[in-house]
Chains A and B, each alone.
Chain A
Amino acid sequence: MNREIVIEAEELVKRYGKIYALKGVSFKVYGGEIYGLLGPNGAGKTTTIRAIAGALKPSQGYVRVFGLDSFRDKYHVRKRIGVVPELPSLYPELTIYENLYFIGRIYGLNRDRVKERIRVVSERLGLEKILHYKYGRLSKGFKRRVDIAAALVHDPDILLLDEPTTGLDVLVASRLREFIAELGRMGKTIILSSHYIDEAMNLSDRVLLLYNGVKILEDQPEYLRRILQLDKRVRIYLSRRLDAGEANMVRKRLEGIDGIDKIDVRDRIVELHTKKPVEIVRRVEDLLVELGIGIKDIDVIPPSWEDIFRKFVEGYEGIGGKCGPCPLAGAG
């Protein structure tokens, strides 16, 4: 990573009628950095990506890419960026080769150069043997690879990836993350939007946390990880209803187990909040067997985005960080 600022957003606002998609977001991205945009659906990640690509007119504020206004100079800005949109969006009736050729030519590459680039990117992405396949007939995983190849065909300085692993199976998503990390090591500046916390944390050099169009905070993943010591909810479905006495007894025995932060026993459900779900489930199973209470099912429920953001804000301010204008202010 170098310290040259390649993207700079200043007080970026995007309004559609009365609805605000972005409410004054500012950030800087340095050359060679993987910069994560993290947030739930509707946080403003895609709007931010589109603003960087000059694909929407900011209501207020600006985005500069290599010093150029991304909207007013969009033609020149787009020549230097590659975009992988959230959904597969190449031409289904054209082959992979024809799609890449079309995109490369639009980016201004001459015939020889575009052929050379197709060879390079298809080898890197393992597409060289299926270049004659029609895009519309590919699996989701291969479509994603072709989308990335299309974004790389003109060898851009900046790559914008909008939810690149959404909808992919675990293995394909994992391979794709490895490839993104490899691109990062090669010095590409990458903007990675994701609603998967682990994905953004593991791949990014820095993360911008968005919620309801507001910048919550921007920092290195290690800082965010320190704050993200969140409880998971373990919900145990019992085979029968507990009477008041039994419920009381179960509650008391559970209180004696270390690592359980909150206990709720009602009807046929025991719900626990813990940071160590695997260990706790094992101990609670033993306890219930000892008490002669059968277990029907167990769910481990990850924290909700609402929990995460509340925790982020509290935790970050707790270690001396400064949260931006917080949409959760006053909540909880």
Chain B
Amino acid sequence: MLVRSGDAVMNNSLIIFLKDVREYYSKAPVISWGILFPLTAVVLMGLSIGLYGENRLVPGMFTLSLLFASTSMVQVAISFEKMSGTFQRILFLPLRDMELLIGKSLGGILYGFIGVGIAGFTVYFITGHTILLRPWFFIVGVLIGSLVFTFLCLIITLILDPIPGVATLNIVRFTMVFLGGIIFPKVMMPKILLPLTYALPSVYINEMIRFGLYNTWDYIDPYTSIAMSLIYLTTLFIIARRILDRILYP
């Protein structure tokens, strides 16, 4: 019975996911924020590799691409549905909030992996790097990362109206890029800002990716990073579910 109801949840989530991909994959904000911007940023970072060192900068190229790709799809899907009134229509469909949550997250995961793929190609062309020293760490890092960024974006876009939602999301994104361990290595981060860095989930995801790529770490050891990422993931999932519940059933 449990398996059957689990199948039903996944089935409806997949239907939502496939509909979202069909409806939103070619929307301008998805292309510009989810693919073009991270591609440009990753190329620019790649050109600075000589300055900071490969194992310090390359993980950030992956994390940045993952962050923007996974959040752009969710942000566009929720904002467009809020504006067109289709989100309110979901209220009348026989959907459980878990199905909706998973369905909306699958788009973020898919685009997260696409973003990582784009970063991978860019890294290969710039550095020739092809080896994953800890492939499972890398894959788990990307998977957890895409989910954390997706749920974070889901919370912001659910709470706020579309336009302030985009502005807030960009503040969060760029805070993570500049202060969340993605660009600057620990040695370059002012000590006064370190508590903020450790409060941002990007630092743990970046460390998992770094460990997967180079078997080394900078800010924090990989096992603590996994634990912290899972804590973030669980917390954000619970918050997203509660907010969704409150929005769907006022």
A residues sitting closer than 8 Å to B (CB atoms) are 16, 50, 53, 55-57, 71, 74-76, 78-79, 81, 83, 85, 87-94, 98, 102-103, 105-108, 160
Contacts and interface: CB of A to CB of B under 8 A. Distances in A.
B130 interface: no
B78 to A, nearest CB: 13
Contact of A105 (B15, B84, B85): B15
Interface stretch (B49-57, B91-99, B142-150, B209-217): B91-99
A75 B95 CA distance: 7
Given A56-B249, A85-B88, A107 B19 contact: no
A89 B92 CA distance: 11
Given A105-B15, A107-B94, A90 B89 contact: yes
A87 B91 CA distance: 14
Nearest to A57: B249
B22 A98 contact: yes
A85 B23 contact: no
Contacts of A90: 86, 89
Nearest to A78: B94
Contact of B250 (A56, A94, A98): A56
B175 interface: no
A61 to B, nearest CB: 16
B92 A75 contact: no
A55 B92 contact: yes
Contacts of B85: 85, 87-89
B93 A103 contact: yes
Given A55-B249, A94-B19, A94-B23, A107 B86 contact: no
Contacts, number: 64
Contacts of B15: 102, 105-106
B23 A91 contact: yes
Interface of B: 12, 15-16, 19, 22-24, 84-86, 88-89, 91-96, 248-250
A106 B88 contact: no
* 6 pairs of A and B residues whose beta carbons are closest in the complex: A83-B92, A78-B94, A55-B91, A89-B89, A89-B85, A102-B19
Given A53-B92, A75-B95, A83-B92, 7 more contacts: A90-B89, A92-B84, A93-B22, A93-B23, A93-B24, A98-B19, A107-B94
A91 B91 contact: no
A56 B91 CA distance: 9
Contacts of B84: 89, 91-92
A106 B249 CA distance: 19
Contacts of A160: 92
A89 B96 CA distance: 19
A89 B249 contact: no
B88 to A, nearest CB: 6
A16 B250 CA distance: 8
A89 B86 contact: yes
Contact of B22 (A75, A87, A94): A94
B30 to A, nearest CB: 12
Nearest to A74: B94
Contacts of B24: 93
A10 to B, nearest CB: 19
A232 B96 CA distance: 50
A88 B88 CA distance: 11
Contact of B94 (A79, A87, A98): A79
A79 B61 CA distance: 46
A57 B250 contact: yes
Contacts of A107: 93-94
B95 A106 contact: yes
**Residue in B84, B93, B96, B249 whose Cβ sees the most chain A Cβ within 10 Å:** B93
Contacts of B23: 91, 93-94
Given A55-B249, A57-B250, A91-B86, A85 B92 contact: yes
A332 B24 CA distance: 56
A159 B250 CA distance: 23
Contacts of A91: 19, 23, 84, 86
Nearest to B87: A89
A274 B15 CA distance: 58
Contacts of A81: 92
**Residue in A53, A55, A56, A76 whose Cβ sees the most chain B Cβ within 10 Å:** A55
A6 to B, nearest CB: 17
Contacts of B91: 50, 53, 55
B96 to A, nearest CB: 6
23 contacts: A55-B92, A56-B249, A75-B94, A76-B94, A78-B92, A85-B89, A89-B85, A89-B88, A89-B89, A90-B86, A90-B89, A91-B23, A91-B86, A92-B84, A93-B22, A94-B19, A94-B23, A103-B93, A106-B16, A106-B93, A106-B94, A107-B94, A108-B94
Nearest to A88: B85
Nearest to A105: B15
Contacts of B94: 74-76, 78-79, 106-108
Contacts of A75: 94-96
Nearest to B88: A89
A305 B94 CA distance: 36
